[in-house]
Chains A and B, each alone.
Chain A
Amino acid sequence: MLSYAIRRLMIAIPTLFIVITVAFFMMRIAPGGPFDQERALPPEIEKNIKAAYDLDKPLIEQYTIYIGKILRGDFGPSIKIRDFSVAELIMAGAPASMQLGLSAIFLALIFGVGFGTYAALRQNSTVDFVVMGVAMVGIAIPNFVMAPLLSLVFGLYLSILPTAGWGDGGIEYKILPIIALALPQIAYIARLTRGSMVEVLHSNYIRTARAKGLREKLVVNRHAIKGALLPVVSYLGPATAAVMTGSVVIETIFGVPGIGTYFVKAALNRDYPLVMGVVIVYAVMIIFLNFLVDTVYGLLDPKLKSR
């Protein structure tokens, strides 16, 4: 088990390294330096400015300085939003994004596993087809279509929730973004759970459990669910990545003051440090989470545990 975790860590560390390296070199080859202006600066001033930002040093040295700064959580100042550092902006956006993201994943797990199990237990019945059909639609309709539709129906036609905005951060502003984020994941997890549950229910150890006369409820809750949830656990990493990606669009649509909104604005304004900062922070979070999920998976899967 320990060797398994160490092996996963051996993947996680180079990944992080690649991310930071790619970000660094992308920033260097980007056209237009941060101090390019209409009017050329006097050479001495330009020299001073470059020295202040270490731009006069050789590339390799800049690179090591950059890595050092990132390890300390310093992503430099934002170019377009004056007087704010990238780290401050990310921290400002984090609470809203975290709340939405975590709630969406939580919701997706509960409903996804619930619907999936329910459909699997009634395999090939009408209920099964309906649930899977709805799930298929949920996957095919992209979230940037779903979100405006939700806001149209619940915000405008029914007028029970605000169409967009964050207000004072009250719960009514969070419901629609969370649902819009969670829906595709609910659909995906439901399909995943159903598939693995059907497979598990046909396996030998379930037949044994039934043969020794256990009640169906016990068979499902104690024996089947454990095996059937393994694929769902390993999907948690990609699910988080998908929710993060989705949050970029959802936050923009609903006007949530989160990391995603800052990211889109930065991307449109060519605010390089902010874009790189967000990419690195998100990559680190996903790499860490993948590592965590892999380790948990190793604990759960008896085939890996024995190794």
Chain B
Amino acid sequence: MMNKDQKTAMLQAAGAPGEIEGRSLWRDARIRLFRNKAAVGSMIILAIITLMAIFAPLLSPFAYDQIDWGYIQEGPNWENGHILGTDGNGRDIFIRILYGARVSLAVGLLATAVSLVIGVTYGAVAGYFGGRIDNIMMRFVDVLYSLPFMFFVIMLMVVFGRNIFLIFVALGAVEWLTMARIVRGQTLSLRRREFIEAAHATGVSNFKIIFRHIIPNVLGPVIVYMTLTIPQVILTESFLSFLGLGVQEPLTSWGVLISEGAKVIEAATWMLIYPAIFLALTLFCFNFIGDGLRDALDPKDR
């Protein structure tokens, strides 16, 4: 086998400019993704929102629970520093939106991670073993699928109290179903392929085949669906918080802010509009990135 220098020398002798690098499928996908303007724009906007959420305390002279007695429920005003106005308790809306972003994004990511772990494992196991095991496992998913899940999440919140960690787990436990279905479908088509049979023949355990050989090969669709799950989770969390069943004071999330804004909409439109813009923008961006990733990873679908 030639080493890299020899290869380069030969290529140059043949008149080629130098090393020709092989392009992996992932690299191809990355190039296609970065050609998609909507996806790139969305990534930039999301990165900005995320950075603003992380560095929130540096961006505003106010604390998120600080009450400014001079300005109770006043509109946006650049001069006094409340650039997006204040709420009914005299707290700065801008900083509260950023702290809400922390909660909303964290819930989105963590709950999606929970759903990822459950869904991928469940789907891969069902698809890999196939037959009766698959049948029973997927029937169970069908059963859960036909339930009105929001009501169950609310029921969980009522029974166990409104705890932010419970929100992560409850939402993750609800959102894994589609992931399991996708992974199972992919696994079914993979498990009779030669490389899996080869692994089998050399005596690799089932457990190892699933985690070492099957799961890395289903990552494409999983990543796409993951990007689409995050906004769903954020939306669900906002929904719960809107009803007063999610994040509790003085912590806040976009859902809480929107709900506070909706109550005083006649007097203080800014309290509804700005959190709503942040929420809608984030949901949009995740959806565009998901679409872009799907096109990038699965070009034949276009």
Contacts and interface: CB of A to CB of B under 8 A. Distances in A.
Interface of A: 11-12, 14-15, 18-19, 22-23, 26-27, 29-31, 136, 140-142, 144-145, 147-149, 151-152, 156, 163, 237, 241, 244-245, 248-249, 252-253, 263-264, 266-268, 270, 272, 275-276, 278-279, 282-283, 286-287, 290
Contacts of B142: 11
A197 B13 CA distance: 57
B150 A148 contact: no
B276 A26 contact: no
A298 B266 CA distance: 50
B150 A245 contact: yes
Nearest to B143: A15
A253 B143 contact: no
Nearest to A278: B151
A272 B152 CA distance: 13
A287 B143 CA distance: 9
A144 B234 CA distance: 13
Contact of A145 (B152, B258, B284): B258
B265 A148 contact: yes
A163 B263 CA distance: 12
B152 A268 contact: no
Interface stretch (B26-34, B43-51, B236-244): B236-244
A26 B269 CA distance: 40
Contacts, number: 113
Interface in B131-162: 139, 142-143, 146-148, 150-152, 154-159, 161
Contacts of B261: 148
Contact of A249 (B147, B152, B156, B242): B242
Given A249-B243, A267-B158, A276-B155, A283 B265 contact: no
A140 B280 contact: yes
A19 B242 contact: no
A142 B143 contact: no
24 contacts: A11-B139, A12-B146, A27-B159, A30-B158, A140-B280, A141-B276, A142-B235, A148-B261, A148-B272, A156-B265, A237-B146, A245-B150, A245-B239, A248-B243, A264-B243, A266-B158, A268-B243, A272-B158, A272-B159, A279-B151, A279-B155, A283-B151, A287-B146, A287-B147
Contacts of B157: 267
A270 B272 CA distance: 28
Interface string B222-242: 000000000000010011001
B284 A286 contact: no
A141 B146 CA distance: 25
A152 B143 contact: no
Given A270-B158, A286-B146, A290-B146, A144 B152 contact: no
B104 interface: no
A304 B279 CA distance: 42
A145 B78 CA distance: 26
A171 B276 CA distance: 29
Nearest to A27: B159
B265 A145 contact: no
Given A144-B238, A286-B147, A279 B243 contact: no
Nearest to B241: A144
Contacts of A252: 243
Residue in B146, B279, B287 with the greatest tally of chain A CB atoms within 10 Å? B146
B283 interface: yes
B159 A29 contact: yes
B187 interface: no
Contact of B158 (A145, A245, A249, A275): A275
Contact of B259 (A144, A278, A286): A144
B245 interface: yes
A23 B262 CA distance: 32
Contact of A140 (B150, B155, B245, B283): B283
A272 B272 CA distance: 32
B155 A275 contact: yes
Given A264-B243, A283-B148, A286-B148, A14 B154 contact: no
A142 B238 contact: yes
Contacts of A15: 143, 146-147
Contacts of A267: 154-155, 157-158, 243, 245
B39 to A, nearest CB: 14
B276 A145 contact: yes
Contacts of B283: 140, 142
A151 B243 CA distance: 18
A249 B239 contact: yes
Contacts of A151: 265
A74 B48 CA distance: 54
A104 to B, nearest CB: 16
Contacts of B265: 148, 151-152, 156
Nearest to B272: A148
A144 B159 contact: no
Contacts of A279: 148, 151-152, 155
A142 to B, nearest CB: 6
Contacts of B259: 144
Given A15-B143, A270-B158, A141 B280 contact: yes
Nearest to B151: A279
B206 to A, nearest CB: 28
A5 B287 CA distance: 36
A262 to B, nearest CB: 13
